[in-house]
Amino acid sequence: MNYKKHFKGKTILITGGTGSFGNAFTDKLILLKPKKIIIFSRDEKKQEDMRNHYQSDLLCFVVGDVRDIEAVERVMEGVDYVFHAAALKQVPTCEFFPLEAVKTNILGASNVIRTAVKYKVKRLVILSTDKAVHPINAMGMTKALMEKIMIASSRELDTIMCGVRYGNVLYSRGSVVPYFISQINKGEKLTLTHSHMTRFLLTLDDAVDLVLHAFINGERGYMYVRKSSACTIEVLAEALCEIFNYKKGWVEVGVRAGEKLHETLISSVEAQRASSLEKYFAIPPQSQGLDYNKYLPAKRKKHDVIPTPFTSENAKRLTVAETIELLLTLPEVKMERKKYGN
């Protein structure tokens, strides 16, 4: 698709823009000739690294926190499009400090949304997570409420808002693949939480593709999900051991607090109203108004069979060979492999 016509000459704001997604998205945006890309985040070291990497006049780096509405207001004026990626994303961190997750993931998101509306931003896309579906941890609960705030704010405003959901991105910060590779480099056994635990396998390119799809095609209050394959953690560990010809294997250490055995990107309730597209699912908001009579049991659409949720347990499972093939598309894995003469 020709994205240039949508971004050429536009001012774009990426909150949390120094993260894995922000870097991958910036790679794409720079080629599309925008007027300006504003990278808004708290970490001046990551901003300096990013500034030195790109050395582009298109990038504008602003140190600030989405929790601070004055900082958000200072950066929002004149912005055409917002991509909201700022969040506390680590499950254990949010379990230990749940109020911090509330401040960033809920109140911070609300600040971004309210300010975007105030300054008449044309489009806003929020980035959410599988953990927001049937949440069992603080990170998922706060992300679920972020989604609800976006949906509630999306009705009949100048700013078109929608969102995307995806699971852990391969080789993103804090994900399991770089952790396993670091253990291989140290000569340690890989530590699996549970061998039958399943996870979706999504590359950063796939995540960027999903966000661009939502940006171009997104309807008010909709959430978008990319159709993805999955594998067990044991298959992922075996694939990495084969790639690096690593013989020490792995050991199970138990599921961490707040972790699920399987990821869910669409619940059975959402599946009742979701549309299946070629590469994506589109989930419309449950209600677009306050006329509750429209949703009385007698007037609801009846379903003979409860639709199936979209989870990493029932998604297409990759074999070890297929997982190896996917992992070898990642530049980081290729680079690490060269160290071993492969």
The residues annotated as belonging to the active site are: 131
Rounded distance between C-alpha atoms, residue 255 and residue 245, angstroms? 27
At residue 132, what is the residue type?
A
Q: DSSP for 218-257, please give it.
A: PPTT-EEEE---EEEHHHHHHHHHHHTT--S-EEE--PPT
Q: Is 78 left (phi over 0), alpha (psi -120 to 50) or beta?
A: left
Q: What are phi and psi of 49, to 5 degrees?
A: -60, -45
Residue spans of beta strands (DSSP E) within the chain: 11-15, 36-41, 59-63, 81-84, 123-129, 160-166, 190-192, 198-200, 223-226, 230-232, 250-252, 264-266, 275-276, 280-283, 310-311
The SS3 assignment for 31 reads coil
Cβ atoms < 10 Å from Cβ of 323: 24
- Between the CA of residue 15 and those of 30, 75, 244, 260, 273, what are the distances in Å? 16, 10, 36, 28, 30
Q: Are 225 and 164 in contact (CB under 8 A)?
A: yes
Task: List the structure tokens of 52.
Answer: 């030195």
Name the token pair of 255: 């599921």
- The C-alpha atoms of residue 124 and residue 170 are separated, in whole angstroms, by 25
| Exposed e or buried b per residue across 130-150, where buried means at least 16 C-beta atoms within 10 angstroms of its C-beta | bbbbebebbbbbbbbbbbebb
